[in-house]
Chains A and B, each alone.
Chain A
Amino acid sequence: MKKIYIASAISALIFASCKPSVNITTPPSAGNTDLRNYLAIGANMTAGYADSSLYVSSQFASIPKRLYDRFTLVTGVTGAKTSFIQPYLKTDNGFNYASDLTRVPKKVLSWVRHCNGDSSLSPIYYPGGYNLSDADYFTSPGANGQVNNIGVPGMRVADLPVAGYSSTLNMYAKRFFVGSSTTPMDELSYRVRNLEPTFFTLWLGFEDVLGFALAGGQGDGSMNAAVATGTTNYYNTNDITPATVFKTQYEAAVQVAISRGSQGILINLPDIERLPFFTALPIKGLYIPRQTLADSLTAMYAGYRYTFSLGYNNYIVKTHTGVLRQAVDGELLLMSCPIDSILCAGWGSTRPIPQEYVITTEELQNIRSATVIYNNFIRDMALRYNLPLSDMNTFMRTMSSSVVFNGITYNAQYLSGGSFSLDGVHPNPRGNALIANNIIGTINNFYKSSIPLMDANNYAGVLFP
């Protein structure tokens, strides 16, 4: 036996000296671009908004931060040099305003007991509450007040020319905009002059459609909306931004972004209808377990000639104009619709689901055409200004059906899909990393660079209690 041990000790020694290793060294390069100084321009996705709020770790997981981390791997003169400063909040509690303008923290997952006694995993406000210090003005620790990520959650292309935007209209803008009476376009212009970026990402336009969708299509979706009463150039957040306004302001933003010779990339709009917020609750969700119930509903809606049958039926809803009707296939029920009202208050069956929770076929058409018109324009801008276009519309379409990455299959199923945060609209850190990888792919292709991708699975996905 002793012999065996000696033999194994010797061979272990020999083996340790020839343990295999694999090193693949493709030196990252910036190719034809220059990553020294990166400025991220945009709104929700840029700022790192997730779980219905902005909070410190969501900002650390933002898409621009992910991109910057990769840019730093590029060595040499065109690699990332300066630090990447984001206007961080102070806590991880999250800070936002609910629709009724009460202050709220971020959302977290929890077991929620419903009115009918069932429980389900649902998002609730973070039990620790919000922290008022998160509304404090952000003072950059960098030289010259440097801020690299100027993404403002909720900011639309339509908001770019609105004077005083940061003082009253957007608390996130208020946290770091330099002037309170100036416009977001002025702020952009100031940041470009201040930072002299060599590279930028510009992801704007999503919020110009999103507000209409989140409000259940309760605004003007015709793309001919009028300015809000009492204002000269402000559009209600529930409206879809008129195409003329969008085009003028978007092009102006691109011109400002490149005004100091910066290169960069434009990112287009994903399809809103594929986001979990709009798919989590099926419109055909009215479950009728007994024929007598079906019969009594059919009798109740005899005047409308709706018939109900055993199993799943389309909900009874109110349309945009307040007319009661049964929903048709393809219409969308928003995740914001209170489940308890459906379960116990007869919403969708004996009473219609209010219009602010439903996107009807017409409203869906508004959303689709706006997305197409905006995206066509963004593509034109990319061509005109010789910038690459990150086709996020196509990528997030793939991501919503399935993207396989190192053994994980991601899709846009709420919670189980793994890539979206609890608000169902914005990606979680893993989704951000998948998106950042796709953007890097486009950058590498266009600028002949070789910026390495990241292991998306190394970041947080949906966290279950």
Chain B
Amino acid sequence: MNIKNIIQCRIGFFAALLAIIIIIYPLGYSLTDYAIANDRAEAQPFLERTAPEITDCVEDTIYMRYHHWELLGKIREEIVRYGKRGDVSLDTCKKCHTSRVKFCNKCHDAISMTPDCFGCHYYP
């Protein structure tokens, strides 16, 4: 029985395996990236806290690093469209991260990405 026969017998299995590999590949890639980024010391130079008595962010650091725009988008939707003015807003960020130049811009400049927030919202 040569290799050609094996493939022909099990072709359904190979099709499924190929599909799963294609789907899993980007997921695994980003997961590995995520794990490496957490271990690297030099990946965390951005936080410039000026209020050391506040140790907790509204969400944990990893979430904020990779999803802060989603959080800000949700807060924006709650405030603007539903009138829910809760505890968290862009002003809450300003309490610890007082300078946009020293905090936000570090990453945003590195990936040359300019968010539209600060054309209208005051953040020195």
A binds B: no
Chain B residues at the A interface, C-beta cutoff of 8 Å: none
